[in-house]
Structure 1
Amino acid sequence: MKKNKLILLKNKQEHEQEDFESIQEIKDALSKIDDHYQVFTPDLQVFEHLVIAEQQRQKKKFVRELLSFILIALLIMSGLLTALLQVPIAFFIVQGVASISLPVYVYFQYKKRVMRT
């Protein structure tokens, strides 16, 4: 078994004095660190250039994603229009499968989320 260690509490003034001394030692150590190491603060223009570069990168990414979305949407719409005009039965089958699969997918995602929590 472990030995029980008793800690004798000192009066309140001694605790406050020790706290004050500890705080003073910490402040002294921190000021020594501040004096020893120089702090480099970058210029505001550096951050402005970083922000501008990030905005340009995001704008290019947005344009690229928007163009890919439009191209894929056009491909899907042209395929559906072709199916509707050339083979109407295939169009209705695709629409039926999509109409049934979406609620089934949402149901299984909901069920998976409920099972996790």
Structure 2
Amino acid sequence: MKTTKQQLIEALQRDEVVIATRFATTAKVSRQLVHRELVRLEKVGAVARLSGGLRGQWVLLNVNALPVVVERTVVEAPPRQVGGAVAELLAFFGITLAHIQLPAHRHFRSDEVPA
């Protein structure tokens, strides 16, 4: 999933003009978040506000001043290892680890507690 900043940069590269309110509605994020990102881009000289006409229009000035969008890959956490006293207890009752599926995170939600 792309961040709002990444979506905003792609929209500027594609259209060269962005209407902040319309972009916020389309991306389903707050107008304040979009405005904050556009102001940051304005400070580095990438975009400028259009005066007159529709309020909230931003135009792309310098493509090279836009930050580079880096794709992030989601890394799956390795499966948790059961050892020590827990492994001995499972072995005592004849339970193998193949019977148990532990989530990769530590805290269980109420609907994720193994039976």
Global fold match (TM > 0.5): no
Which structure has more RCO (C-alpha within 8 Å, separation ≥ 6)? 2
Q: TM-score, normalised by structure 2?
A: 0.20
User: Normalising to structure 1: TM-score of the pair?
Assistant: 0.20
Considering fraction of residues, name the structure with more strand. 2
| Greater helix share, structure number | 1
